[in-house]
Amino acid sequence: MEKLLQDAAARGIRYRREINDRSVAPSAEAIARLEVFREPLPAQGCAPEVLLKRLDEYGSPASMGMVGPRFFGFVIGGSMPVTVASNWLSSAWDQNVGMHKITPAAAIIEEVVLGWLIEIFDLPGDCGAGFVTGCTVANFSALAAARSKVLADAGWDVEADGLAGAPEITVLVGGEAHPTLLKSLGMLGLGRNRVVRMAVDQQGQVIAEQVPEIKGPTIVCLQAGNLNSGGFDPIGAICDRLEGTGAWVHVDGAFGLWAAASPKYRRLVPGLGKADSWATDAHKWLNVPQDSGIALVRHAQYLKRAMAITADYLPTDTQFRNPSDYTPELSRRARGVDVWAALRYLGRDGVARLIENCCEHAERFGKGLRKAGFEVLNDVVLNQVVVVFGDAETTLKIIDEIQRDGTCWCGSTVWRGQTAMRISVCNWSTTIADVERSLDVIIRIAKEHT
Ligand SMILES: Cc1ncc(COP(=O)(O)O)c(C=O)c1O
């Protein structure tokens, strides 16, 4: 066992050490070699070191260099080494984090992390939280609590009686809501399409003055951090308008919620704490390994009402927090440990620096591209840059060449009807030199085609 785990660690360490020197995107040859995995189910197994070697020899080169400093696609963090290390150790524990009585270490660590997150985001002290797979499920979990509360206020127990015959819930979403938020609404029986869209401005931000009048049970979904522009809905202003209406205000802050962790960028989320629930990712801007989202809910009892179960065989009676009371899953890994490691390592100031560095890098990208004569479509207020290089065909061709060059990786998007390239800076290890090197390549390729 020891040799095997050391072999895995050595291979992982080599992968991380070499990430800076390889092409960010895997080569076509490396992808072609993946055919080796398409074998029939073997009748007999093999030695563990043999399969590990195969995984590394064929899998590693064909992986996307997402953990490297010049991956700017989607909104993806790169897992700080300390969080990979804590992840390895907690994988060795392999705790099934449901009940405090069974997994006290993981349960207590999560409880502590919850307190730290409340402090970082400056949220109400009695919030409840679920440590889930990502922001999609964080949105789902928080909205399940919202559904529970607005229907309970209308005299309906949705957990017991379902939605058939329930009072109708109006759901308001911003015109630029993330598709996973709509998917969460669909999974909750609230429908992806029966939402009322709120008007947004040029940066995709909801216009507070145009939020419709509230009648009956209502859930209002806002966004902190638009995945293209990085823009923010005016959360505080909307909460003020809705005060006394009984509407539940939810904030999808997959990455943008982390602006609250920085004294410099906190101004982007005035009134954040006035909302009722918040969803975010740790695997994006906090740079912990994938599979780490967090649902935070002001009215913890409603999250618990939506998620908690009892069974004769489950030792749920305890004075402590049972993690599975707040998540859709009963069985899951100890993902709160990764969040603990990140926060314990960085401290409050380190988290702020991480956020600010990424935003400054995005600003540098924006300025460099504008100086080179290209049109940046968004106000670069956070870590996102949206740039066009002419018509859709030219822009897509340039993006394709940038990806194939391998120095950096940026993806495409359509922003307010225009095909564009999106740069998202989320990685803890990105330096000014990485930005300059990437800018050189982007500008050279773009100029060759325009
Ligand atoms: C605003 C927003 N909400 C939700 C999500 C979904 O997050 P996840 O992929 O972690 O489920 C994303 C992903 O980029 C996002 O940007």
Question: pLDDT at position 74, please?
Answer: 95
Helices (H) and strands (E) in the chain, counts: 13, 11
pLDDT digits (tens, 9 = 90+) for 287-302: 999 999 999 999 999 9
Q: Which atom of ligand 1 is nearest to the CA of 138?
A: 11
Question: pLDDT at position 220, please?
Answer: 98
- DSSP string across 80-137: -HHHHHHHHHHHHHT---S-TTT-HHHHHHHHHHHHHHHHHHT--TT-EEEEESSHHH
Q: Which amino acid is at 312?
A: D
What is 93-342's CATH number, 3.30.450.70, 3.40.640.10, 3.30.70.100, 3.40.190.80?
3.40.640.10
The binding-site residues of ligand 1, defined as CB within 6 angstroms of any ligand atom, are 74-75, 134-136, 178, 180, 223, 225, 227, 252, 254, 281, 293
Question: pLDDT at position 415, please?
Answer: 96
404, two tokens: 């194939």
Question: pLDDT at position 162, please?
Answer: 98
Question: pLDDT at position 405, please?
Answer: 97
Q: CA distances (Å), 189 to each of 153, 170, 185, in order?
A: 18, 12, 6
8-state DSSP, 256:
G
Which residues of the chain carry a pLDDT beneath 50?
none
Radius of gyration, alpha carbons of the chain: 23
Question: pLDDT at position 311, please?
Answer: 93
Question: pLDDT at position 381, please?
Answer: 97
Question: pLDDT at position 131, please?
Answer: 98
Instruction: Please state the φ and ψ torsions of residue 27, each to the nearest 5 degrees.
Output: -75, 160
Spans of all domains in the chain: 93-342, 348-449
165, two tokens: 């015959």
Q: CA distances (Å), 6 to each of 10, 13, 16, 63, 107, in order?
A: 6, 10, 15, 21, 28
Q: Alpha-carbon torsion 356, 226, 280, 274, what sign? A: positive
pLDDT digits (tens, 9 = 90+) for 159-175: 999 999 999 999 999 99
Pocket perturbation via mutation, ligand 1, pick of 72, 76, 135, 425 by most ligand atoms within 8 A of CB = 135
Q: Which residues contact 444 (CB under 8 A, 6 or more apart)?
A: none
* Domain 93-342 identical in fold to domain 348-449: no
How far apart are the CA of 431 and the centre of ligand 1, in A? 25
How far apart are the CA of 281 and the centre of ligand 1, in A? 8
**Yes or no: domain 348-449 corresponds to CATH 3.10.290.20:** no
How far apart are the CA of 392 and the centre of ligand 1, in A? 25
Question: pLDDT at position 112, please?
Answer: 97
